[in-house]
Amino acid sequence: MSTDSVEVDPEVWPDVSAVQIEDDEPVDNIHSEKQMRLLTEPLYASWAGPPPRDDGAPRSFFVAANVGLFATPREPAVAPDVMLSLDVTPPPSFDEKRHRSYFVWEFGKPPDVVVEIVSNREGDELGLRRARYARMRVAYYVVWDRLGALGSQTLHTFELRGDLYQATERPFFEHAQLGLVEWTGVFEGMEERWLRWQTPDGALLPTGAERAESEHQRAESEHQRAESEHQRAESEHQRAERLAAKLRELGVDPDELV
């Protein structure tokens, strides 16, 4: 639901009672399932949101994986693998059917970024699906073809200019101040080539587990630093004690030297 939307009488909203919003189809493979979570969980775990407004007020966002996206009441849904929408907030509850999918007329705008993860050629991500997102006015469309089903290029990024998508050299989304980058590493015990969010300074947006590990390492480093400082102080104290004892053996009161 758009944070800037105008209050409208619910009676004028389109009737979605007969709209099918769930088909119970499973995620197609383990890699896709993990990749979707790697593109959703870090945003909620580590991202403060898009740049604040001119008055300093924070801006909200909504990210979801494999959720129905409805452009109009008469069109069937498309289910992006991942979609990110700025300046919107999730519904207050999921009791009503109209709050369980991304109805553009409810949220007040289409998503800003859609990412599709290619498993095979059946999705036609670079053809009909790309054209459909363009009609929906999705500002950025990203196709991640890790398995090379569509050719040698693994990452395709498009920006909506006018009514058509134009390919861009790199996946950076100005309004969100976020980008995407190919990254090889371990996520949930699997070493793979993944697609991850990246901040403007080139840093990866960490997952919750990575943040926790980083905090643990920072705390451990602080503990080791404190322990080292304690040992250094203890060593200085013992050295001073030995020096004082030596002076007393020579008949010199160390207290008189202070």
Q: What is the pLDDT of residue 105?
A: 92
Question: Cβ(136)–Cβ(103) under 8 Å?
Answer: no
Triad 242, 244, 250: Cα angle to 5°: 105
Tell whether the model's pLDDT for residue 141 goes beyond 80. Answer: yes
Q: Are strands 155-161 and 164-167 parallel, antiparallel or unpaired?
A: antiparallel
> What's the pLDDT at 15?
55
Higher pLDDT, 17 or 249: 249
At 29 the pLDDT is 84
pTM for this structure?
A: 0.77
pLDDT digits (tens, 9 = 90+) for 218-243: 766 776 776 778 788 788 888 888 88
Q: Give residue-wise pLDDT tens across range 46-62.
A: 999 999 999 999 999 99
CA torsion 56-58-59-61 (nearest 10°) is: 160
Q: What is the dihedral of CA 10, 16, 18, 21, to 10 degrees?
A: -140
Domains of the chain by start residue, with CATH: 20-205 (3.90.1570), 214-257 (no CATH)
Print burial letters for 227-248: b (CB count within 10 Å at least 16), e (below 16): eeeeeeeeeeeeeeeeeeeeee
**Cα angle for residues 178, 183, 184 (degrees, 5° grid):** 165
Alpha carbon distance 101, 115 (integer Å): 17
Alpha-carbon distance of 38 to 85, in angstroms, equals: 17
The residue among 161, 159, 205, 160 whose CA lies nearest residue 180 is 205
| Packing angle, helices 30-46 and 208-249, rounded to 10 | 60
**By mean pLDDT, which of 34-38, 44-48, 89-93, 174-178 is the weakest?**
89-93
Give just the sign of the alpha carbon dihedral 161, 165, 167, 168.
positive
**Mean pLDDT, the chain, whole residue set:** 86
